[in-house]
Structure 1
Amino acid sequence: MIEFRGAGPAEFTERLETVIGIYTAAMNPPGDQITGRKAIMRNHATYPHFQCYFAELREPSLTPGDREEPRTVGFAYGFRGAPGQWWHDVVLRALTEQSGRETAQAWLGHAFELAEIHVHPDYQGKGIGRAMIRTLCAGRGERSAVLSTHDRPTAARHLYASLGFTDLLSRFVFPGGYEEYAIAGRPLPLP
């Protein structure tokens, strides 16, 4: 059985090796990017209103009364976007240039930024990512949720669209990068 357990900044940071293991299995990044990704994630835990959920698999015990340690099979986290945060500032600037200040502020002025959502490949396609997003967004006070994802037809892109996320920017390349991303958003709360 999969359970979702909330974690704040301290536990998230303590479990960073587990988080990086799932991220690496799901994304298969170049090895030289892992140290930088870990530093970025550690920094994210310092952002305002940070919240994380772990998807944990609890196996039924063969011995009555005995509980095995759960296996973490996924994680998702986000925080309130704010000026001074790299992603927030870069996306706000690009969206302002494309759609105007009023539209950019409507989406990013009081937004919950879904920073990372990953499920170990052995457990993908079972609704875990969808459930983590719903759990993470439940009860949030922000007016919108925003995220970035590769701008190609992936399972993640399909998932976000099925949850009502629409493209705010497409074919977007972050400074210093080369891959194209879609920046997507949807009003909160989720249905």
Structure 2
Amino acid sequence: MRSAFGTRRETAPQIREIDRRGFYRRLDAMLATYAAAMEPPVDQMPGRRTIMERHAAYPGFRAFVAGRRRDVVGFAYGFRGEPGQWWHDVVHAALAETGGPEHAQAWMGDTFEVAELHVHPDSQGQGLGRRLITTLCADRPERNVVLSTLDAETPARNLYRSLGLTDLLTAFRFPGGGPLYAVMGARLPLSSRRS
């Protein structure tokens, strides 16, 4: 597409829902976006692939990619949280410890868990993350949405707050070490207010 001045104008990335087969086909491209956005140690990438492959088999799995042609510049996916899933069980136990079993069940008993949301650094700051998460969470049958994010003042954390997510856990370290996380949650549907 060319503008009136004859220069090539980039089109906005298109967001498309993909099924499990499409998710597996695009896994390499999604992992490249994940690596660019998160800059994890290279030795963690095979484990990340295994986790993402496992997630695609969870109940209520839903995934979206954002891109131009075959490029993936962003992606988001989640699923229905259930007992027996590692993240679900760890967070449920932590919420029960801090707020009691009723508190944990209120948040984790009927929840859509956003497992991953990443936008390539070259495409950040354009509202793509907001479009991905609101599209992902639209029309979900679950009562709540929960996710984890780094426990820091980041653009991602600000985005989640602007959509109505609040901190359920802060300074939380998942088993196995790593950085501190915040676990955030909201009632569905997400808020549309912008900040």
Which residue matches 2:86?
86
Which residue matches 1:163?
163
> 1:8, 1:172 → 2: CA distance?
32
How far 1:178 sits from its partner (Å)? 3.2
Which residue matches 2:59?
48
Residue identity matched to 1:160: Y
Which residue matches 1:61?
none
Gaps of 5+ in 2: 1-11
Counterpart contact for 2:29–2:71, Cα < 8 Å:
no
How far 1:71 sits from its partner (Å)? 2.5
Which residue matches 1:10?
21
Map 1:27-176; keep pairs closer than 5 Å. 27-57=38-68, 69-176=69-176
> Identity percentage over the alignment?
56
Q: Deviations over 1:128-176 (max 9, x none)?
A: 0001000000000000000000101111111111111100000000011
- Name the SS of the counterpart of 2:73 in structure 1: strand
- Name the SS of the counterpart of 1:147 in structure 2: strand
> 1:75, 1:5 → 2: CA distance?
9
Which residue matches 1:65?
none
How far 1:70 sits from its partner (Å)? 4.2
Counterpart contact for 2:36–2:120, Cα < 8 Å:
yes
Residue identity matched to 1:125: G
Residue identity matched to 2:55: H
How far 1:108 sits from its partner (Å)? 0.7
- Name the SS of the counterpart of 1:174 in structure 2: coil
Indicate the larger mover: 80-89 or 151-160: 151-160
Which residue matches 2:180?
180
Residue identity matched to 1:134: T
Residue identity matched to 2:71: R
Q: Deviations over 1:109-136 (max 9, x none)?
A: 0100000000000000000000100000
Which residue matches 1:23?
34
Question: C-alpha root-mean-square deviation of aligned residues, in Å?
Answer: 0.9
- Name the SS of the counterpart of 1:139 in structure 2: coil
- Name the SS of the counterpart of 1:72 in structure 2: coil
- Name the SS of the counterpart of 1:91 in structure 2: helix
- What TM-score do the two structures reach when normalised by structure 1? 0.92
Gaps of 5+ in 1: 58-68
